[in-house]
Amino acid sequence: MYAPKLKRGDGVRVIAPANSIMLPFIGEELKELAKKRLEDLGLEVSFGKHIHDCDAFESTTIEHRIEDLHDAFADDSIQLILTVIGGYNSNQLLRTIDYDHIKQHPKILCGFSDITALATAIYAKTGLITYSGPHFFNFGQKHTFEYTLDYFQRCLFDDSPIDLRPSDRYIDERWATRQDEAIINANPGWTIIQEGEANGVIVGGNLGTLHLLHGTEYMPKISEDVILFLEDDREDYPAAFDRHLQSFLHQPIASNIRGVVIGRCERESGITNDLLQKIITSKKELNNIPIISNVDFGHTTPMCTFPIGGRAVMRADGDAASVMFVEH
């Protein structure tokens, strides 16, 4: 089930199902730029009632976060629900969500990182396609944002197939408090780990967060072919990434994986191309399927937006690789 695509005049509600908007590095200048960029797309921006609440865990109560989530889905003036940022505790909400309510009021939900738990659970329980893409926070980035904005618009405003291409530049650091000093790197492009061709339903997001859904009703049960999109942040050093990936490959859905697309790893994670190659080739479950890494999504910037539950085709052959979102 797809929510309607966005158009000028639509409403966007910014909510905080994980961390609050009151994090110290989300300054007023960043918030104003983020709001302006959304308004420049023709969207009417509003904010959840509880996004400024901030407790000892830099979040707020389950009840307050659920209230903002349900209100956003119920409001007929809202077509896009955009998360402030990620965090650690979106999975606290999963048993309290009224999934029938969401199914009756389909909206676009977009965010990444910890929001993977929320987006994947909603897809699993309702069939509603959700989106891994920029937070409200990311709309306040000054540099390399053009790529992020371009793919956000292509994915959420248009129905045409999207031919994903590497960005020209990227930033591999926490940029919010030193935007004008951020180091901008030339992008060497994607890395082909294994060759092949595949098409299937897109499942994925943040690997460490997906680990929280294993063995639960919130992991999608898909009998079709799957293309797995995975990313993780600097907290998942190589051995942790390896065991989280192995844990995912123990899930029933893993037997349907026909291709893997891996987002660019943060330098501080210590996951180099060589180590990633060794991790992947140690998994017999991934033999003989195409695998591409260093793709523009995850915790470096810029990032693409991709549909969780949409469809993609991918090819990796020699020095050439391609990924296309054919249904989004």
Told to judge if 293 belongs to the known catalytic residues of this protein, a careful annotator would answer: no
Q: From CA 11, how far away is CA 93, in angstroms rounded?
A: 24
List all residues 6 or more positions away from 76 whose beta carbon is below 8 Å from its beta carbon.
none
Told to judge if 59 belongs to the known catalytic residues of this protein, a careful annotator would answer: no
Quote the tokens at residue 3: 């929510």
Catalytic pick among 20, 59, 90, 113:
113
**Cis, bond preceding 302 (omega within 30 deg of 0):** yes
- Provide long-range contacts, Cβ within 8 A and 24+ apart, for 37-40: 37/139, 37/140, 37/145, 37/149, 38/12, 38/82, 38/136, 38/139
Q: From CA 262, how far away is CA 255, in angstroms rounded?
A: 18
50 and 69 Cβ atoms separated by less than 8 Å: no
Q: From CA 71, how far away is CA 91, in angstroms rounded?
A: 19
DSSP tag of 204: E
Told to judge if 282 belongs to the known catalytic residues of this protein, a careful annotator would answer: no
Catalytic pick among 59, 132, 211, 231:
231
Catalytic pick among 211, 244, 299, 328:
299
Cite the active site residues.
113, 231, 299
